[in-house]
Structure 1
Amino acid sequence: MISSQVKPPQTKAALFGVRLRTLRKQRGWSQKELAERVYVTQSRIAQLERGYGARPSAELTHALETVLEADGQLAELWPYVYDGSPRWSRRFFDLAAKAVAIREYVSHTVPGLLQTEAYARAVLGVGLEHPDLLHERVSLRLARQARLEKPDAPKLCLILDQAVLLHTVGGEDAMREQLLALRAACDRHSLRVLPFGSREHAMLGGSVVILTMSDGTEVVYSEGADHGRLLEDPALVAAYTGAFEQLHARSYGEARSARLITEAAARFTRTRSRRRAVTRTQSRQRAGRHVRRRPGA
Structure 2
Amino acid sequence: MVNVHSLDPTASPLDYYGWELRRQREAHGLKQGQLGEIIFCTGSLIGQIETTKKVPTRDFSERVDAALGTDGLFSRLIGLVLRSQLPTWFQPYAEMEAKAAYISTYQAQVVYGLLQTEEYARAVLATGLPDDLEGLVAARVERQRILEREQPPLAWVVLDEAVLHRPIGGAEVMRRQLAHLLEFTGHRWVHVQVLPNRTGEHASLAGSFNLLRFEDDPDVVYTEDLISGHMTANPETIKEAALRYARLQAAALSVEDSAELITRVMEERYGHRSRSEEQPVA
Q: Scaled by the length of structure 1, what TM-score is found?
A: 0.66
Mapped partners of 2:199, 2:155: distance in 1: 23
* Structure 1 counterpart of 2:68: none
Q: Give the ranges of 4+ consecutive aligned residues of structure 1 lying more than 6 Å apart after TM superposition.
A: 76-79
Q: CA deviation at 1:200?
A: 3.1
2:108·2:163 contact (CA, 8 Å) conserved in 1? yes
Distance 1:243 1:258, change over 3 A: same
For structure 2, the residue ranges without an aligned partner over 5 or more in a row are 1-7, 20-43, 57-80
The correspondence for 1:74, drawn from 48, 51, 68, is 51
Residue deviations 1:249-269 (CA, integer Å, cap 9, x gap): 111111110100011110244
User: Per-residue deviation at 1:205?
Assistant: 4.2
* Kept after mapping to 2: 8 A contact 1:122/1:170: yes
Unmatched segments (≥5 aa) in structure 1: 1-7, 20-65, 280-297
Matched, 1:206 2:183: no
Q: How high is the sequence identity, in percent, across the aligned residues?
A: 33
Shift in CA distance, 72/104, structure 1 to aligned 2, threshold 3 Å: closer
**Contact between 1:158 and 1:191, CA under 8 Å: does it hold in 2?**
yes
Distance 1:97 1:86, change over 3 A: same
Amino acid in structure 2 at the alignment position of 1:184: E
Counterparts of 2:83 and 2:145, CA distance in 1: 22
Deviation of the 1:72 alpha carbon? 4.2
Residue of structure 1 in register with 2:12 after alignment:
12
Q: How do residues 85-164 of structure 1 correspond to structure 2 at under 5 angstroms? A: 85-130=86-131, 133-164=132-163
Deviations 1:175-213 (A, max 9, x none): 000000011122212211111132434422421111111
The answer to whether the Cα contact below 8 Å between 2:211 and 2:222 also exists between their aligned partners in 1 is yes
The number of residue pairs the alignment matches comes to 219
Shift in CA distance, 218/75, structure 1 to aligned 2, threshold 3 Å: same
Q: Which has the larger radius of gyration?
A: 1
- The residue aligned with 1:40 is none
Q: Spell out the pairing of 1:145-224 with structure 2 (5 A cutoff).
A: 145-188=144-187, 189-215=190-216, 217-224=218-225
Cα distance in 2 for residues equivalent to 1:158 and 1:91: 21
Counterpart-to-counterpart distance in 2, 1:129 and 1:111: 20
Q: Distance in 2 between matches of 1:180 and 1:219?
A: 31
Residue aligning to 1:56: none
User: How much has 1:14 moved relative to structure 2?
Assistant: 10
One-letter amino acid of the structure 2 residue matched with residue 200 of structure 1: E
1:12–1:77 Cα contact (<8 Å) kept: no
Structure 1 contact 209–221 (Cα < 8 Å) conserved: yes
Report if aligned partners of 1:207, 1:224 keep a CA contact under 8 Å in 2. Answer: no
- Give a deviation string over 1:98-121, Cα, whole Å, max 9, x none: 101100000010000000011000
Equivalent-residue separation in structure 2 for 1:152 and 1:81 (angstroms): 22
CA RMSD of aligned residues (A): 3.0
CA distance in 2, matches of 1:91, 1:219: 12
Distance 1:100 1:74 in 2: 38
Q: CA deviation at 1:73?
A: 2.6
Letter in 2 for 1:192: Q
